[in-house]
Amino acid sequence: MGKFKVVITDWEYDDLCYEEQVFEGHSEIELVGAQCRTEEEVISACKDADGIINQYAPLSKRVIESLEKCQVITRYGVGVNTIDLKAVTKKGICVANVPDYCMDEVSDHALALILSWTRKIVLASNQVKNGNWDFKVTKPIQRFRGQTLGLVGFGKIPQALAEKVIPLGFNVIAADPYFPAEEAKKKGVTLVSLETLAEQSDVISVHAPLTPSTKGMIGKEHFARMKKAPLIVNTARGPVIDEQALIEALQNGKVSGAALDVLEEEPIIHNHPFLSMENVIVTPHVAWYSEEAEKEMRLKAAMGVVDVLIHGEYPKYLVNKEVKMHSRLEEGVSLERYGQLVK
């Protein structure tokens, strides 16, 4: 049997030591690193690849159709919006992500943004550094207890956030049409419609994945419903919020502030309106990051390739389950393999 070619389309790490660690015991795999930015570069690097690990490089329909023998694509992180899932599934290629590597990190970051903005930490610090020692510049500040936090989406990360804020006294509601209301109630959270969430929330934290149906989901209609001029927090994907509508809502007072780790376009442009707004906190898409989370994500992304190419199994974190209609792999990934990697 010849070697399997595995291409990493792009990465922003200092090296590929964790990926190499996974593959070092498998001489059948040849690892190729590329730093692709365009469709043409991905096609050139991946046309004859058996497996692909992807970060941000576009895996469009055109790219997918050029792949001659690819069996698996894994993605660093949770979202798979860089990949044309319809095209890849039709071609019988498994797609895997790493949905559980940064639940603490993202929920911690969302909490940090909520607390920092609500207590006006950044504003107060900047005022002191500019020579203004006066607590009145932070007015008004409201206590946490009794405020309502609305979660857009109620997957694992917002569930973790709910667990962290309820002891602080927040009332938590969530909008998620796919989550059972009784299960949410057991976690101390009330499920509501997205419209009700907009009307009742003092703080809104966005955790919805980016899909065609969620793009621009938080827009003018929902900002118009907001009665409490809430804080908007986004640690999910920038395009879930209509950014121009958010800017207008900040300017007209329908929204009191924003704390954003993700934007419609990244990195932020130098003259973006957010950069001149005192009621906006922006962080550079860092919510996912800790040393431990980065290591776990990279190890698991590489292991998804091993699941398919070496063991002939569906990857543990298979995203496009419909691919089973087009491919024939074994069920039942060995959890022991993952446990040995991530300790």
DSSP string, 245-269: HHHHHHHHTSS-EEEES--SSSSPP
Query: Is 237 a residue of the active site?
Result: yes
Quote the distance between the C-alpha of residue 331 and its chain's center.
Answer: 27
Residue 170 burial (C-beta neighbours within 10 Å; 0-12, 13-18, 19+):
buried
CA 43 – CA 275 distance, rounded (Å):
37
From the list 20, 40, 266, 322, the catalytic residue is: 266
Residue pair 229/254 in contact by the 8 Å Cβ criterion: yes
Sign of CA dihedral 249, 250, 252, 256: positive
DSSP state of 3: P
* H-only helix segments in the chain: 17-23, 39-46, 61-66, 85-90, 103-118, 121-129, 156-165, 181-186, 194-200, 220-225, 243-252, 291-309, 335-341
Query: Is 222 a residue of the active site?
Result: no
Q: Could you tell me the end-to-end alpha-carbon distance of the chain, in angstroms, rounded to an integer?
A: 33
Closest CA to 153 of 228, 89, 97, 78: 78
From the list 75, 109, 222, 237, the catalytic residue is: 237
From the list 285, 294, 311, 337, the catalytic residue is: 285
Please tell me the number of Cα atoms within 13 Å of 284 on its side-chain side. Answer: 3
Query: Is 266 a residue of the active site?
Result: yes
* H-only helix segments in 133-215: 156-165, 181-186, 194-200
Q: For residue 267, is the peptide bond before it cis, meaning its omega torsion is within 30 degrees of 0?
A: yes
Closest CA to 218 of 243, 192, 182: 243
Residue 32 backbone phi and psi in degrees, to 5: -125, 125
CA 107 – CA 158 distance, rounded (Å):
7
- Provide the annotated active-site residues: 237, 266, 285
